[in-house]
Amino acid sequence: MLPIPDFIRHIARKAIAIPGRFIPYAIQKPVLSVALNEVFRRPLQQGELDFLNGVKVRIKVTDLNIEWLINVNDGGLTLINRELDDHVCISGKSLDFALLATRRADPDSLFFQRRIRIEGDTELGLGVKNTMDGMDWDDLPMPLRKLLKGMGAILAKQEHRDRER
């Protein structure tokens, strides 16, 4: 594979952050709610997320300054006002979330190395992590798998390049 020029890496990293940083949260909420319910369709149908009923989970992507608050109720996931208090917060860098989502890194290693952190109710956070870990990559919609794989590759190359400097 040909090396990616630095200016392309910089543009790609900025482009990945656009939805979370520049699209108003009011617009993100319904779109991400639909996407999350599709991604977690099978665990929701099988009752694997019932332990989260009534729980608010905050997701923070620290290096992109993105934050969402997800409420789990009535068998579905909904983004809600992020000013509310959460029960558990899961935070990390975009690369680490991409590695987690694409199975390019062991989830336990990401958590034990504190690259992805759980704050608040750690039992709930570990339940979320275990649910994600148990999901079948092939259950994700093909466009989402391709998007996650591409983002993960770009972020991993950028991270590797940054470490070499």
Nearest to 99 by CA among 44, 58, 158, 32: 158
First to last CA, the chain: 21
Which tokens sit at 38? 């599709």
Q: State how far the Cα of 127 lies from the Cα of 142, in Å rounded to an integer.
A: 26
Question: How many other β-carbons are positioned within 10 Å of the β-carbon of residue 44?
Answer: 20
How confident is residue 16, by pLDDT bands cut at 50, 70 and 90?
low
pLDDT average, residue stretch 14-29:
72
CB 73 within 8 A of CB 56: no
- Residue 69 half-sphere exposure toward CB, CA atoms < 13 A: 13
In this prediction the pTM is 0.77
pLDDT in tens, 32-43: 888 888 888 888
pLDDT in tens, 120-132: 998 998 888 888 7
Q: State how far the Cα of 35 lies from the Cα of 23, in Å rounded to an integer.
A: 16
| H or E, element range at 99 | helix 94-102
The CATH class for the domain spanning 6-160 reads alpha beta
pLDDT in tens, 70-84: 998 876 999 999 999
Which tokens sit at 21? 């940083």
| H or E, element range at 124 | helix 122-134
Listed as own residue / partner, the contacts of 42-48 with beta carbons closer than 8 Å and 24 or more positions apart are 42/135, 42/136, 42/139, 43/131, 43/134, 43/135, 44/75, 44/76, 44/77, 45/75, 48/131, 48/134
Q: What is the mean pLDDT of the chain?
A: 80
Which tokens sit at 135? 């999901």
Strands 55-61 and 88-92 turn out to be parallel
Domain ranges of the chain: 6-160
Question: In this structure, what are the phi and psi dihedrals at residue 120, rounded to the nearest 5 degrees?
Answer: 95, -135
